[in-house]
Amino acid sequence: MSELSGQVSRRRTFAIISHPDAGKTTLTEKLLLFGGAIQLAGAVKARGEQRRAHSDWMKVERERGISVASSVMTFDFEGKTFNLLDTPGHEDFSEDTYRTLTAVDSAIMVLDAAKGIETQTRKLFEVCRLRDMPITTFINKLDREGRDPFDLLDEIEQTLALDVTPASWPIGMGRDFLGCYDLLADKLVLFGKGAKGGLPDEGETCNGLDDPKLDELLPAYAVTKLREEVEMVRGLCPPFDIESFLEGHLTPVYFGSAVNNFGVREILHGIAERAPTPSPQPTASRNIMPDEDKVSAFVFKIQANMDPKHRDRIAFVRLCSGHFKRGMKLKHVRTAKIMNIHNPVLFLARERELAEEAWPGDIIGIPNHGQLRIGDGLTEGEDLRFTGIPSFAPEHLQNARPDDPMRAKHLGRALQQLAEEGAASVFKPMVGSDWIVGAVGPLQFEVMADRIRTEYEVPVHFEPTSLYTARWVEADDHLALKKFVDANTGSLAEDHDGAPVFLARNAWHLDRAGEDWPDIRFLKIKEHVD
């Protein structure tokens, strides 16, 4: 096996998806704890600077207690390298999550044992389904009263049309939660009371559920119930099938309590053993195989001002093939310019270190001053256009105005940068001087105002507009598009890339434009293209 193939087979690049409050941020931190990437357990609960988990570094996230930006964390565990991408939990920031899911090979879906599948979980799952992405399920908060495990499995199967197979089975729940039986490794893992900061033990290896060891370690009622339930669940659910999992048809389900570090080791073992290695990546011309010698990569996210002292912008880049080395010269496909990659970084949330090298599946950060945009490809010469990285038409539109009219130019610059970062859509109408900001959800406006004020020192306010929606416009015939633009200047704007956007006043206005201009496409989803 070549060094490249060996490094590819060690990589596991995955995201965590969930509804807000299901425990995603806690699970993220505990995975880092087990991976040895952080020493402190319970930073989520600690006071002061440690109050937020490692993955929530942005000021506005610490103040509101929600995740709104995607973070990347790289750590090693049992000879494997994990690239974990945390995603925004709040639905108003789902666009960032959709793009993050283009950069991973599998996902962990976190469910609250009391609530099961919630709206945001379903939406994010649908994005994973479009990509046939393997999903591992973690049912969290077993230390509290929740729903019946059979009920939860049935809901996953019915709501998501996904086969389920329990990887572990809970023994009790809430106050009576005693632990889990690991069905794939035949181990009994008991829930240790009290030692919240420590790591639970590895568990007792058993020879199946008939092992008399279980009768010694568990109360009689619990053993009887465990044996009955597992027999039932094995009769109802298909056995774990690796092919079906990798094709995105079946999910192994783990039970646990992330806040108590319980069930975390088992899910990490599961990802290490069964989750896919870096997969081929689609481009307009061909699929890129991870073991190709030449380096190729794409940008899936831009983050401005990770370090407020330096007005830096980091492009988050997924490596698709080849062995990347610091100082490499790569072709920036959109501009056809050569970029010298001097200071690439690896991440542990906000902390970063220089990346001397990286392999397929790894996520590196490339500091730049606005050259790189979402969807851009970097290669050793080949003109590759990566596909499948979406932009969504905003559902909410507002005017952005600086509190001080003299700062209008500064506001324009700030909005432009935030748009390139993918934080929201920004449109400059062809008539008039106002900027129009489009967002997937209303909370984005608050977060943007907060960031513009703190990061760019431009106090800004957003005002409602009379606009209904925005659609990108395109046509196969360049002249037809020009004719449409000339005839509709009052309803048109340009996005931060200079692409034309139709601003509809109401549903009738949009429908009428479609009827009057049959050669024009009005797009709700636009792919980022080089």
- pLDDT confidence of residue 64: 45
Last residue of a domain, one of 357, 379, 401: 379
- Asked if residue 385 belongs to a domain, the reply is no
* Beta-strand pair 525-527/500-504: unpaired
Quick one: 375 and 397 in the same domain? no
- Asked if residue 38 belongs to a domain, the reply is yes
Q: Which CATH number do you get for residue 228? A: 3.40.50.300
Quick one: 290 and 261 in the same domain? no
Look at the block and give the residue holding tokens 């009371």. 193
DSSP 490: G
- Asked if residue 405 belongs to a domain, the reply is yes
* Beta-strand pair 521-523/469-474: antiparallel
Q: How far apart are CA 101 and CA 16, in angstroms?
A: 9
Q: Is the model more confident about 104 or about 119?
A: 104
Look at the block and give the residue holding tokens 């069930």. 263
Quick one: 422 and 329 in the same domain? no
Q: Report the pLDDT averaged over residues 9-17.
A: 94
Q: Which strands, in side-by-side order, build the sheet including 492-494?
A: 460-464, 396-402, 435-439, 425-429, 492-494, 500-504, 469-474, 521-523
Quick one: 423 and 347 in the same domain? no
Quick one: 416 and 358 in the same domain? no
pLDDT band at 95 (very low <50, low <70, confident <90, very high): low
Last residue of a domain, one of 274, 301, 324: 274
The string of pLDDT tens digits covering residues 449-483 is: 888 988 889 999 999 998 999 999 999 999 999 99
Quick one: 162 and 260 in the same domain? yes
Paired with 138 in beta bridges are 110, 254
- Asked if residue 10 belongs to a domain, the reply is yes
Q: How far apart are CA 248 and CA 245, in angstroms?
A: 5
Supply the range of the domain harboring residue 460: 393-527
- Asked if residue 80 belongs to a domain, the reply is no
Q: Which CATH number do you get for residue 410? A: 3.30.70.3280
Percent helix, strand and coil across the chain, each to the nearest 5: 30, 30, 40
- Contact between 296 and 384 under an 8 Å Cβ cutoff? The reply is yes
Quick one: 143 and 18 in the same domain? yes
Most distant CA pair in the chain, distance: 82
DSSP 289: P
Q: How much of the chain, in percent, has pLDDT values that exceed 70?
A: 87
* Residue 195 scores a pLDDT above 60: no
The string of pLDDT tens digits covering residues 375-415 is: 899 999 899 998 877 777 777 899 999 999 999 899 998 99
Domain count within the chain: 3
Quick one: 99 and 181 in the same domain? yes
Quick one: 259 and 337 in the same domain? no
pLDDT band at 58 (very low <50, low <70, confident <90, very high): very low
* Mean of all residue pLDDT scores within the chain: 85
CA atoms within 13 Å, Cβ hemisphere of 455: 25
Q: How far apart are CA 116 and CA 113, in angstroms?
A: 6
Strand, coil or helix: 511: helix
Quick one: 298 and 260 in the same domain? no
- Asked if residue 384 belongs to a domain, the reply is no
512's enclosing H/E stretch is helix 507-516
- Asked if residue 425 belongs to a domain, the reply is yes
* Residue 421 scores a pLDDT above 90: no
Count of C-beta atoms within a 10 Å radius of residue 285: 11
Enumerate residues 6+ apart whose C-beta is below 8 A from 216: none
pTM metric for this prediction: 0.78
- Contact between 77 and 350 under an 8 Å Cβ cutoff? The reply is no
Q: How far apart are CA 478 and CA 157, in angstroms?
A: 48
Quick one: 416 and 364 in the same domain? no
Last residue of a domain, one of 219, 241, 274: 274
Quick one: 356 and 499 in the same domain? no
pLDDT band at 57 (very low <50, low <70, confident <90, very high): very low
* Alpha carbon separation from 264 to 31, 44, 170, 256 (Å, rounded): 7, 16, 14, 7
- Contact between 169 and 230 under an 8 Å Cβ cutoff? The reply is yes
| Phi, psi for residue 368 in degrees, rounded to 5 | -160, 170
What is the token pair recorded at 249?
């048809």
What is the token pair recorded at 459?
């106090």
- Mean pLDDT is lowest, of 52-66, 198-212, 342-356, 448-462, for 52-66
> What's the distance, CA 211 to chain centroid?
41
Q: Is the model more confident about 114 or about 127?
A: 114
